[in-house]
Amino acid sequence: MTTPFDLSGKHLLITGASSGIGRATAVLCAALGAKLTINGRNTDRLNQTLQSLDGEGHSVMCCDLTDYDKTAELVKNIEKLDGAVFCTGTQKTCVAKCLDRGTVNSLFETNFTATVNLNTLLFENKKINKGASLVFISSIAALGYAEVGNAAYGATKGALTAFAKVLALENVKRKIRVNTVSPAMVRTPLLEKFDVSEEQFAENEKKYPLGYGNPEDVAAAVAFLLSDGAKWITGTDLKLDGGLTLQ
């Protein structure tokens, strides 16, 4: 039985695929039949992802996307894409009144500027096929959900969400769809960057009617947006928050 959610025959680029949401997305998309080019900074972890993928023909693009010269060089060698998932990101908490230029610039460089640069290179080199689907991983921090210490991070994700909406509008003639997904708390290695105890995490999770999410929950939403089952969806943000903002 055929399904509109099958990704067979599609070539996808997934950034940040060495761990967390990026890795889970790569594993699921490969299981659904896609051929992948996966990106990450850590060669060992990226190869671990590669070894966990179903199917054949997958390739690795190992580089730090903030290295613009290296990124430009690698993009020239990528086969044309039917979709891309931009998962690269980092987190740092700091109360707004203590933010300094270095912290802000670093977060924007990784979470926004490097991704925008990669997107530009893909279009300039004509690597995005007509009818492709692009998905950007944003955050509920971009949607007005305020948490202490999240000002700069939320600003980077807000910029990414705004960018994606304009990109969607500018590419409708080629039927290229552009959407974002905005998760709340997901159990990824990024949680280790928080100076928070397990007890504090457990207390915070009580705010979520469905509990914290897992990378696989986000991957499923991304795979849907990449599929032909979402061919009438563009310029949309899909909020994944386990019911957090219902209350």
Q: Is the residue at 153 inside a domain?
A: yes
Q: Does some domain include residue 20?
A: yes
- What is the C-alpha to C-alpha distance for residues 59 and 64, in angstroms, rounded to an integer? 16
User: Is residue 174 in a domain?
Assistant: yes
Q: What is the DSSP letter of 220?
A: H
Structure token digits, residue 85: 């998932």
Q: How many domains does one find in the chain?
A: 1
Q: Does the active-site annotation cover 208?
A: no
Residue 1 lies in a domain: no
Q: Check 68, 145, 153, 208 and give the catalytic one.
A: 153
In a domain, 215, yes or no: yes
Is residue 247 one of the residues assigned to a domain?
no
Question: Using CB atoms within 10 A of its CB, is residue 8 exposed (0-12), middle (13-18) or buried (19+)?
Answer: exposed
Do 7 and 34 contact (CB within 8 A), yes or no? yes
Q: Mention every residue, 6+ apart, whose C-beta is less than 8 A from residue 190.
A: 20, 89, 90, 91
C-alpha span between 232 and 115 (Å, rounded): 24
CATH label of the domain that carries residue 214: 3.40.50.720
DSSP 134: E
Does residue 42 carry a pLDDT above 90?
yes
In a domain, 84, yes or no: yes
Across 15-19, 30-34, 192-196, least confident range: 192-196
Mean of the per-residue pLDDT values for the chain? 94
pLDDT, tens digit (0-9, with 9 covering 90-100), for 119-137 = 999 999 999 999 999 999 9
**Model confidence at 1, in pLDDT bands (50, 70, 90)?**
low
Residue ranges making up the domain that contains 119: 11-238
For residues 135 and 220, the answer to whether their CB atoms sit within 8 Å is no
